[in-house]
Structure 1
Amino acid sequence: MYQDDYNTCNTTYTTLRIYSESLSPQDITKYLEIEPSEIIDKSIEKDILMGENITFNAWFLTSKNIISSKDSRRHIDYIADKLLPIKEKIKNLTRQDVEIDISCVWMSESGQGGPTLSPQQLSKLAELELEIWFDIY
């Protein structure tokens, strides 16, 4: 199913993004029992460009630098497979003041082609009740 050398793709990776005004990144980590790839803690971080306080916390789990495949399906599966065992926790977070989605960066090798989603990925995302969006270059 996977095409790890997906010849129309230069680079791809997928990131689970969780944003909350009230839950700290540490609260999210403890609740999910998964270590994030990166966090933004509003109690510590400042917007470098604006010099203002950030008004939200963020928690990220990414396939970047972990999965080397150029097939976005493998990256989506990496994230989805980590979340499926805790899908009720994910769904519970979405019922709170938390925004959750999956972002997929996809950079074309030549300006042609595009990412593919198979029924397997669509089924996993539906089970998790998560949206995915693509940032395509």
Structure 2
Amino acid sequence: MYNDNYETCAETYVTLRIYSDEQSPNELTEYLGIQPSKTHVKSQKNELQTNKSIEHNGWFLTTDGKVNSKDSRRHIDFLADKLLPINFKIKELISKGAKIDISCYWLSENGQGGPTLSPQQLSKLGSLGLDFWFDIY
């Protein structure tokens, strides 16, 4: 089902992004029972714009560096398989005002082609009930 050498892709990964004003990154980690790849705390200085403060707590789980494949389907499955058992927690966070989505970074090898989503990934993403978007270059 996977093509780990996906010829038209130079690099890909997916990231779960949680933004919350109510829960700190440490509280989100404890509640979800998953170690994030990265976090940031509201009011810290933004790494990219040193004169601007971060407006929301952020908690991020990415497949970057964890999944060795150029097939976005493998990355999506890796992340979805971690989230589906705790989907009720994701829904609870959303009900408390958290903004949650999944992004897929996809870098073209030669300007042609694009990522593929199979019914398996579409079903899992649908079960999660989260917005999913592509960042394609």
TM bracket, shorter-chain basis = over 0.9
Q: Could you tell me which amino acid in structure 2 is paired with residue 121 of structure 1? A: Q
Q: Which residue of 2 aligns with 1:61?
A: 61
Which piece of structure 1 moves more, 56-65 or 88-97?
88-97
Q: Which residue of 1 aligns with 2:45?
A: 46
Percent sequence identity is 60
Alpha-carbon distance in 2 for matches of 1:53, 1:10? 33
Does residue 31 in structure 1 map to residue 31 in structure 2?
yes
Q: Could you tell me which amino acid in structure 1 is paired with residue 111 of structure 2? A: G
1:130 deviation in Å? Answer: 1.1
Q: Which residue of 1 aligns with 2:116?
A: 116
State TM-score, norm by structure 2: 0.95
Q: Could you tell me which amino acid in structure 2 is paired with residue 9 of structure 1? A: C
**What CA RMSD, in Å, does the superposition of the two structures yield over aligned residues?**
1.1
Deviations along 1:1-39, one digit per CA (max 9) or x if unpaired, are 100000000000000000011210011101101000000
Alpha-carbon distance in 1 for matches of 2:126, 2:133? 14
Q: Could you tell me which amino acid in structure 1 is paired with residue 46 of structure 2? A: D
Gaps of 5+ in 1: none
Alpha-carbon distance in 2 for matches of 1:98, 1:62? 18
Q: Could you tell me which amino acid in structure 2 is paired with residue 125 of structure 1? A: L
Alignment of 1:1-137 (within 5 A): 1-43=1-43, 45-48=44-47, 49-137=49-137
SS at match of 2:84: helix
Alpha-carbon distance in 2 for matches of 1:50, 1:41? 14
SS at match of 1:111: coil
Alpha-carbon distance in 1 for matches of 2:53, 2:135? 27
